[in-house]
Amino acid sequence: MLKLFIFIIIIVLLVLGIVLGVLNPNQVNLDLFLIKTTLPLGLALAITLVIGALLGSAASSFKISQLKWLLRKQVKANKKQLNEIIQLKKESTARSKELVNIEKTG
């Protein structure tokens, strides 16, 4: 199912790319400080779209990795607290049993 979904998305993106190229055949001057070139407008838009998607993905993956790190840290802290709670319950149970034994003998 996932492969079909990805395939459909790829087909849609290819069709959009073809439409973008066909509807924008005009030449534009591209000046990148050191490099000057002339490209079709559709290609310039497609390149800009890809660069934007890559930058967005990089920013998102940075934030996601940050959140995963925080989650792992919190899970570790939760396990530590759970172990402390279990230990305290064991100590409390042991003390309760000692008090019951003292009351029975005393």
Average confidence (pLDDT) per 10 residues, the chain, 106 residues: 88 85 86 88 85 92 95 97 94 84 75
pLDDT at 8: 93
pLDDT at 65: 95
pLDDT at 106: 61
pLDDT at 24: 81
**b or e along 9-41 (b: 16 or more beta carbons within 10 Å of the residue's beta carbon)?**
eeeeeeeebeebeeeeeeeeeeeeeeeeeeeee
